[in-house]
Each structure stands twice: as C-alpha cells, then as structure tokens.
Amino acid sequence: MDRSAITRRNFLKVLGGAAAAAALPAAPWAAEPIGAGGASPRRPNVLFIAVDDLRPQLGCYGRKQIVSPNINRLAAEGLLFERTYCQQAICMASRASLMSGYRPDKGGIFNCGPLYECVPGALSLNRHFLANGYETASIGKVYHHRSDETVGWSRGAYHPMGQWVGRGYLAGESIAEVKAYARAHPKETRTGMGPAFEGPDVADNAYADGMHADRAVALLGELKDRPFFLAVGFLKPHLPFCAPKKYWDLYAEDKIDLADNPFVPKGAPKIALTDWGELRGYAGMPAKGDMPDDLARKLIHGYYACVSYTDAQIGRLLDELDRLGLRDNTIVVLWGDHGWKLGEHTMWCKHTNYELDTHAPLIISAPGAKARGRSTRALTEFVDIYPTLCDLCGLERPAHLEGASMAPLFDDPDRPWKRAAFSQYPRGRIMGYTMRTDRFRYTEWRNMQTGATVATELYDHASDPAENTNVAHDPARAGDVAARKEMLRAGYKAARPPGA
C-alpha cells in the first residue's frame, strides 16, 4: 500500500488489526499465502451457520412445502444428514452442548444457564479454533446467552436489535438506537409482547437477519486472507414470525395444509406433553385451549415465510464465498438448533422429546470430500459436529468430547454407524431420557433424585413414523421395551460407531 494513501482513520484501523493479530497464538500456516502449494497448506475456513428453530421440512429433506432454494443448493454440494438429533430441544442447552462437545448432563447444561457458568473454562469449539490460529467471529445468535459470546472470539460479537417493524420496533445496531426511535415515535410504539407474526413491505435488512447477512458478507471480505471460523446465527424462523412481505407472497395461505395428526399420541404420559406457553404469550394468541384453524394456517404461513427469508440470507453468504473464490477452501456447516411443532399432536413450539423436536437439519459441505451431493441415514448427534470439524480441519480432538467424528461418513455415507442417538428434556425433578434407534424411539422419564422411572414410551417408526401411538405398555412389545431399556442404560458410549 502507498503510505501516502493511509488516512488517519485507516491508520488506526491498521494499528487495530495488528494489535488483534498479535493477541492470537502463532500458527505455522498463518503466513502461508493461499495457493502457495507449500508443505503446510492453509487450513480450511469454516462458515458455521445456525438457524434458530429450523425444522427439517425442506426440499432437500424430501418435503416440498417450503421454498428454500439456497439451503437445497448447499445440500446439493455437501453431505446431508437425514437423521441428526439435538441433545435437548431448546435453544440454550442445544447450543451449549453442540458448542462445548458435552452432553446436557455435564455441569447441568440442561438447566439452560450460560455455558461458561455451567462448565467454567470449557474448551468450546470456537475457543479451540481460536487457539489453533483461526480468526473466530460471531454474528447473531450462536450461543443463546450473550455472556457466552464474549469468550473465544477474536472479533467482537455483533447483535443488532429489533424484532418487529409494524409495531414501531425497528431493527437497529444497538438497544440505544431502538430506544431513540421509540422516543421519537411514541404513538407507534407499545410495551409488552408484540404479535406472533407480521409481513410488512420492507427491505430484508429492516429486520436483524438481513443485517446479520450484511455484516457477514462484509466480514468475509475482511477475513478472506487468513483461516477463519465465521459463525452466523440467524434468528428466524424463531418466533415471532416476522418477515418481509415478499417472502409471505411465496405462499398461498388457503393452500397451506394443517397438521394431519392433531391429537395427543395415544397412550402418551402427560409429562411428555407441553402447553406451548412460548407461543401463548404473544399478542392475539389463545391463552388456553386449542389453536383455531385459521390462526394455525396463518402461523404456518408465517413460519414458512421466515424460513424463506433466512434461506435468502444464506444464499447471499454462499454467493459471496463464490465471488471471493473461497468456496474450495471453506467448509460450510448449516444446522438448526432443534425441531419445532406446527400443530402436530395439538402442540406448537419445541420442548419435548418427540422426533418432531429432537430431529433437526444438518448439512456439511466439505471441499474435496467424496460424498458431495449425497445424504446419509446414519444416526448422528449434534455433539458429533465438534469432533467432525476438528478432523476436517486437521486440528487435534480435545479429550473431553462426548460425540464421535462423522468424518468417515464423508468417504462412505452408507457405512455402519451409531446404534442410537440420545436426547433429553427435564420437567422439574423428572428427566426424560430418550433414544432414537434405527427403528424405535424409546423414552424413560426418571426422578433425578431417586432414579425411579415414572413413565415409559416406545414408538415404532416402522409402522408409526409420526409417533402417534405409545406402545410401551402393549404386552406384545415387552421384549422390545426390555431391550431398549438395557440399551438406554448402557448409554452413548456403548452405541458408538464401529471402530470409533
């Protein structure tokens, strides 16, 4: 650079950049230029995309209702995991478990506190990448708790504010900006929870996720010359279902199907169910009882619109990777933090041990992998993501990890794999432990103090993939229950993949 061209502002930026770089551990490959072809090729970048409350109801999962061309495009270039399970179907614990590599029993992660309060000093995924010379940057909702976004990132976290536009809450770069708007427009703003959905005719970056994409695109340009781990957490399709009108316009509301199993699973224990309080708190939602059909259709419409809105932002990130020529050296990971119910079993939201909530999307595009554009039916878990990324990037796997690396599946997606995937959900003093095997979902609700089992569920996916009937108490199933009980007690270590 011609020094005479350095303005004072740029000079400060250069100084700031040097100070940040000096704080990073030295890495032998850090000085290697891209494509130098030397003995230590540059480690791959990681673009790590989290999508809040995303169901695997996408074209690439064989479901046609939702318009998600960009996620489908990523799947066409990567490996799609058909049967991945979160460890607990709620934002905080799912993310803390995934990012730490621990299951939710570790340090009481299941209680949903910040990761570094549950497990002080945890060597999280981003800390591990930072320690190995990566630039680590966080945009949007990666962890649930803001305090977790202050540890292990070489770039400060970016959290624009604002959920609603129609009620006068605007997206803004800071709480102060949103409050300033509210003061200037007192008639437009109200207090309390806003509506559960809205679809104003606004630009994508009127809402936070468009701003997340703007920042991510800019940051890709800044980070392109060093190995980076860029985490981008999109807020939609989490409630409220607020998205620009053009995404609502992708769907005809009168053509939207309601859930085809609007009943509680037969024989299910009450403790397995929820009253979906998360949704009831929004303006206009029923305080109790069932969801009226017209409102249900509107909510499903809003959920679909939000997925399409986020999908468009993901497309911008993929386009920018291509434009910068980074695609061949960047691993792209896309995960939803858990499933969601849109009226199935009379329920909404997450917070159960059912397949609808524990089953989540996962796509990993790894340059050079044999299994590009393939899918695997291997049973996998979110705790497997951390060790997998270590293997794909050539980093040592920390000893504490409780998952198994899925790297072998990139060579052979059909190879024998785990015998079961494990999830859990607490209800007061009772913990529900659940296990998905190739054929069954088996769940035990246990008193955490006495260990006594208070309820048992068995769903046979061979005949009942929607988990509509609990057959745990059918005498003809006693053998199936006994075998699954033993397997659940043996735990995840006994269910590991052959050779892992």
Residue 111 vs 447, nearer CB to Ca ion = 111
d(CA 339, CA 259): 15
Candidates 26-34, 46-54, 67-75, 315-323; binding stretch for Ca ion (CB under 5 A): 46-54
Binding pattern to Ca ion, positions 26-45, x when CB under 5 A? Answer: --------------------
Least distance CB 89 / Ca ion (angstroms) = 8
| Residue 91 sits in the site that holds Ca ion (CB under 5 A) | yes
Residue 92 vs 130, nearer CB to Ca ion = 92
| Residue 82 sits in the site that holds Ca ion (CB under 5 A) | no
Binding to Ca ion (CB under 5 A) within 299-338 occurs at 337
Least distance CB 386 / Ca ion (angstroms) = 18
Least distance CB 338 / Ca ion (angstroms) = 6
Residue 152 vs 237, nearer CB to Ca ion = 237
Candidates 53-61, 112-120, 187-195, 303-311; binding stretch for Ca ion (CB under 5 A): 53-61
Name the closest residue to Ca ion (Cβ).
91
Least distance CB 467 / Ca ion (angstroms) = 21
d(CA 273, CA 354): 9
| Total number of residues that touch Ca ion (CB under 5 A) | 4
Least distance CB 234 / Ca ion (angstroms) = 11
Active site residue 390: no
Candidates 78-86, 90-98, 184-192, 319-327; binding stretch for Ca ion (CB under 5 A): 90-98
Terminal-to-terminal C-alpha distance of the chain: 50
Least distance CB 295 / Ca ion (angstroms) = 22
Residue 52 vs 444, nearer CB to Ca ion = 52
| Residue 204 sits in the site that holds Ca ion (CB under 5 A) | no
Residue 52 vs 311, nearer CB to Ca ion = 52
Candidates 88-96, 145-153, 270-278, 314-322; binding stretch for Ca ion (CB under 5 A): 88-96
| Residues 6 or more apart whose Cβ sits within 8 Å of residue 114 | 96, 143, 145, 147, 148
Candidate list 144, 238, 338, 345, residue with the active-site label: 144
Place of tokens 């007061």: 428
Active site residue 91: yes
Residue 351 vs 436, nearer CB to Ca ion = 351
| Residue 52 sits in the site that holds Ca ion (CB under 5 A) | yes
Residue 91 vs 230, nearer CB to Ca ion = 91
Least distance CB 50 / Ca ion (angstroms) = 9
Q: Which of 32, 43, 44, 53 binds Ca ion (CB under 5 A)?
A: 53
| Residue 360 sits in the site that holds Ca ion (CB under 5 A) | no
Candidate list 60, 86, 91, 118, residue with the active-site label: 91
Residue 84 vs 470, nearer CB to Ca ion = 84
The 3-class SS string of the chain reads CCHHHCCHHHHHHHHHHHHHHHCCCCCCCCCCCCCCCCCCCCCCEEEEEEECCCCCCCHHHCCCCCCCHHHHHHHHHCEEEEEEECCCCCHHHHHHHHHHCCCCCHHHHHHCCCHHHHCCCCCCHHHHHHHCCCEEEEEECCCCCHHHHHCCCCEEEECCECCCCCCCCCCECCHHHHHHHHHHCCCCCCCCCCECEECCCCCHHHCHHHHHHHHHHHHHHHHCCCCEEEEEEECCCCCCEECCHHHHCCCCHHHCCCCCCCCCCECCCHHHCCCCHHHHCCECCCCCCCCCHHHHHHHHHHHHHHHHHHHHHHHHHHHHHHHCCCHHHEEEEEEECCCCEECHHHCEECCCCCHHHHEECEEEECCCCCCCCEEEEEEEEHHHHHHHHHHHHCCCCCCCCCCCCCHHHHHCCCCCCCCCEEEEEEECCEEEEEEECCCEEEEEEEECCCCCEEEEEEEECCCCCCCCECCCCCHHHHHHHHHHHHHHHHHHHHCCCCCC
Backbone angles phi, psi at 231, to 5 degrees: -100, 125
Candidates 52-60, 79-87, 213-221, 360-368; binding stretch for Ca ion (CB under 5 A): 52-60
Least distance CB 238 / Ca ion (angstroms) = 6
**Catalytic positions, please?**
91, 144
Binding site for Ca ion (CB under 5 A): 52-53, 91, 337
